[in-house]
Each structure stands twice: as structure tokens, then as C-alpha cells.
Structure 1
Amino acid sequence: MVATNEFDVDFDGTVAVITGASGALGSAAVERFLEAGATVCAVDVIAPSDADSLLESDPDDEPALAFYEANLTDEDDVADLVERVVDDHGRIDHLLNVAGTWRGGDHIEATALQEFDFLVNVNLKTAFLASKHALPHLQEAEGSIVSISARSSLEGGEGDGPYRITKAGIRLLTETLAEENRGTVRANCVMPSVIDTPMNREMMPDADHDSWVDPLEIADVLAFLCSDGAAVTSGAAVPVYGEA
């Protein structure tokens, strides 16, 4: 995977925890942070050896990469994950809440509670729990959190309400984290429109794929928001729409 960055970011000596690391955006973030010199703790329920994993770096061949399998919707699992990361690496400097998914479909009155709960758990609960348990270590390191919201979270829409609701929740979680940790931990989020992923291409084969944003371009923004270049930025929701 070739990085597209046009700026230098130095994360040497820092530890980054990246959730959703086996997906398109998460794996791009892993590559970007490894390139910048960070020790990367890649977290997912899908192992790198799984056929569905897009994580190209192999933890067996990349000494700065460690993979942790964890269910981020389970608080005990998240607490154990954070404890293992700190035991293994001594600190946490960056938390990237990338884990998430998209579902569309029915109007609210026809939406099954199971579908709503699924999106709340995967998109919002994972970010809440990871932030909650990583915060004491991020506060000690005066680190940063970057989460993934969505352009569609800015307004209501037809047929994908639960998704929009959870991504709006990410923005409010980000603003809350920024207010509660002013001067210690910076918290920001990005708002993609359509990301150029294999899943999106399969779901929308007739769309204009050239207008979509490459995951590596978003990973550059994630890296910038964790860098000293964004030292005065906290509580922001940054558009990463491209031409979509």
C-alpha cells in the first residue's frame, strides 16, 4: 500500500491503538501510522489471517505492529484490551476509533430494534468504551483521540436513520471528550462521505467511483489530527468529502 501523504509526521516513540484495523479505512490508518514511526496496536474481531481482512502488514513480519483480537462492544473485553496494550507497550498516545459499519433500509417505523441496536453497538458503543478505558493513559501521555463520524450525520435522511443517529453521536462524543479533557487530551473526528472501499464498490457498482475518497487520503487527515501540527485543534468535525 503506497502512502499519499504530502507532509511529514513523526510518531517515533508513540503508541497508537487503531480499532477496526482489518477494514479498508482501519488498515490504511495502520499503514500511515507505521510509516510515521508509531508502534501500532491494531484491534479487530477479524484476524489478519482471515480472508476478509484488508490489513496488509503482517504482525509476524512487522515488529512495530501488534494485533489484538477484541470485541469492542463488551466492556470487560475493552478493559482487558487496554490493560494488555499498556502491559505490552507501556503507554497509549493515540486512539483511533475507526470500528464501524453502514446499514440502510427501512423507515423508522419499520426498523427492527435488532438493527438499531446493532448500529448503536458497532458505531457508537465501541468508540465510547475504547475512549473510556484508554483515557487515563491518554491523559498521562497528553495524547489524542480521532473518531469516524459521517457527512450524513449532519442532517436527517430517508432509510438510514439509525446510521445517521449513531454517527451524530460520534460528533457529540467527540465534543464532550474535548470539553472534559481540555489541555490534556485532544479529541477530534472526521466526516467522510463515500469512501472508496471494495464493499462500497460492490454495493454501488454504477456510481462514479472516481469521486470517492481513497482511504489513504483520510488516513493522512487522521495522522495530521494526532500530530503536533494540530496541537490547537480539539472538538472539531473535519469534512473529508473529496468530490463525493
Structure 2
Amino acid sequence: MSVSFDFSDDVALVTGASGALGSAVCEEFADAGATVAAADVVAPDEEDALLDADRERIDFYEGDFTDEADVERVVADIVDDHGGLDYLANVAGTWRGGSPVAETDAETFDLLFDVNLKTAFLASKHAIPHLRESGGDADTSDDADTSNDARRGAIVSVSARSSLEGGAGDALYRASKAGVRLLTESIAEEESGAVRANAVMPSVIDTPANRELMPDADHSTWVEPADIATTVLVLCSSATPVTSGAAVPVYGEA
């Protein structure tokens, strides 16, 4: 069964857009006809950036989403440029680990909670007023028509499978991603009937950085960023009109 999306005339903000997963989400939205506001502190012309900001329907906005003034500016610019905002994908994030809590410095705490949780909080805070006004919820069609008239703005944030339990060596990463999941559930409760909010929970994503970090791992079990990006679009589409507050596994065999 094939599934297609039509996000024509809709505007999607994607944070962490220069990374492997963020750039994949941008590509999926653009391929489905959306106007993509791709936001990151890393510009597309920097060495490690993976975003193709020259392609049609992708507009890059440089901003530090750990800084509220920067977030407020970027969201305002997007709304001014494109007339509104329909979807938010909170992809910005990072990983640090390897040390037990007793040997982890406070700077690592600040980094992980700023990049993983604060960015999702600030982006959501400033996007929600515009998402409430959204008239765009994309039609999704397949062999059995799943489109409907439910039209609400939507947020999808990236949590992690490891946020479901404690583990040795990366406690702060797990805690920050658990915070993303609980933030998502809370937004879903607060914005019930106005804005849908869901999270996706990957395990190991098949990215160049992860392959370099774990060269001897079984990469065949890892999940491609594009597959996770497709799930993000499903959760923004009218295929899931009554799904809000969910934490969706996207880790396959990883």
C-alpha cells in the first residue's frame, strides 16, 4: 500500500534542520509540497551541515533556539514571510555520555537540557499561538482513503527510546529526552482540541556521526532518518486526527 502526503499551502518549522534527521524532515515536508522554515544555529554552508537550503520550498533561518529572543525573532520572521505556521518539528538535539552521574560535570547537564529540552520548550511556546490559528492539516491518501476534515496545527518532538528507563553512563541524556516526552504530553493536554502534540522515540539513527562513533556496530539494524521523517509527517497529517500526547516508537530493530 502506498501513501502520499499533500501539505501544499502549509508552513512547517523544523529545528535542528542542518543535522541528519532535521534535514530529512525538511526534505520530506518539501517533497509533500509544504513551505519549510528550516532553523538551526549551524548554517547550511558549514562543514558538517547536511541541509540543502538551495532546493525549492526550503527557506533557512539561522537562530539559536536555546535563546528565547532568537526563537521569538525567528518565529516572527517565519510568520511575516509566509503568513502563518501550521506545523512544528522539534528535532534539535544532541547526545553526551560515557560517565556516571558522580563523574559528570554540570556543563554537560546544561548542554543536554538546553539543546534537547529547552529548544523544544521555547520553539513550542512561541509556535503554539500561531498553530492554534492554523487552518492546515494535510490530506493523506492511500488505497483506503484516510483523509478527513480535522484541521489542526501539530507539534512533533524527538524524544528517545532510552528516555523510558534509566541506564548507566548517559543519565542526563535520558533525563533530558524524558523531559521532551513529558513536555509533549503536557502540551497535548493543555492544547486539546486546538493543537496536537506527539513525540517520536528513536534509538540509534543511521547517521554519518553515529557510524563514525560506532564503526563496529551492526549498521543494518539502524533506522534511516528518512523513515523517521515519514512518521513525523504522518503525525502532522489528517491520518492521525485523534492522536495527541503519544510517544511513538521509531527504532525498528535498533
What is the TM-score of this pair, normalised by structure 1? 0.95
- Note if contact 2:161-2:202 (Cα within 8 Å) is conserved in structure 1: yes
Q: 1:228 to 1:98 in 2, by over 3 A?
A: same
- The alignment status of 1:95 with 2:88, answered yes or no, reads yes
Q: Quick one: which of 133, 139, 160 aligns to 2:132?
A: 139
Unaligned stretches of 5+ residues in structure 1: none
- The alignment status of 1:194 with 2:177, answered yes or no, reads no
- The alignment status of 1:48 with 2:44, answered yes or no, reads yes
Q: Deviations over 1:166-210 (max 9, x none)?
A: 000011000000000000100000000100000000000000000
Give 2:89's aligned amino acid: L
For residues 191 and 134 of structure 1, the distance between their equivalents in structure 2, rounded to whole angstroms, comes to 22
- Note if contact 1:41-1:67 (Cα within 8 Å) is conserved in structure 2: yes
Question: Post-superposition shift, 1:56?
Answer: 2.7
For residues 117 and 50 of structure 1, the distance between their equivalents in structure 2, rounded to whole angstroms, comes to 24
For residues 132 and 53 of structure 1, the distance between their equivalents in structure 2, rounded to whole angstroms, comes to 26
Percent of aligned pairs sharing the same letter? 63
For residues 46 and 218 of structure 1, the distance between their equivalents in structure 2, rounded to whole angstroms, comes to 21
Aligned to 2:159: 149
Aligned to 2:66: 73
Q: Segments of 4+ in structure 1 off by > 2 A?
A: none
- The alignment status of 1:181 with 2:191, answered yes or no, reads yes
Q: Quick one: which of 88, 100, 105 aligns to 1:107?
A: 100
- After superposition, residues 157-236 of structure 1 pair within 5 angstroms as 157-236=167-246
- Note if contact 1:174-1:235 (Cα within 8 Å) is conserved in structure 2: yes
SS at match of 1:183: coil
For residues 140 and 242 of structure 1, the distance between their equivalents in structure 2, rounded to whole angstroms, comes to 35
How many pairs were matched up? 237
For residues 67 and 224 of structure 2, the distance between their equivalents in structure 1, rounded to whole angstroms, comes to 31
SS at match of 2:59: strand
What is the TM-score of this pair, normalised by structure 2? 0.92
Give 2:97's aligned amino acid: G
Aligned to 2:21: 25
SS at match of 2:239: helix
- Note if contact 2:53-2:60 (Cα within 8 Å) is conserved in structure 1: no
For residues 21 and 122 of structure 2, the distance between their equivalents in structure 1, rounded to whole angstroms, comes to 20
- Note if contact 1:31-1:57 (Cα within 8 Å) is conserved in structure 2: no
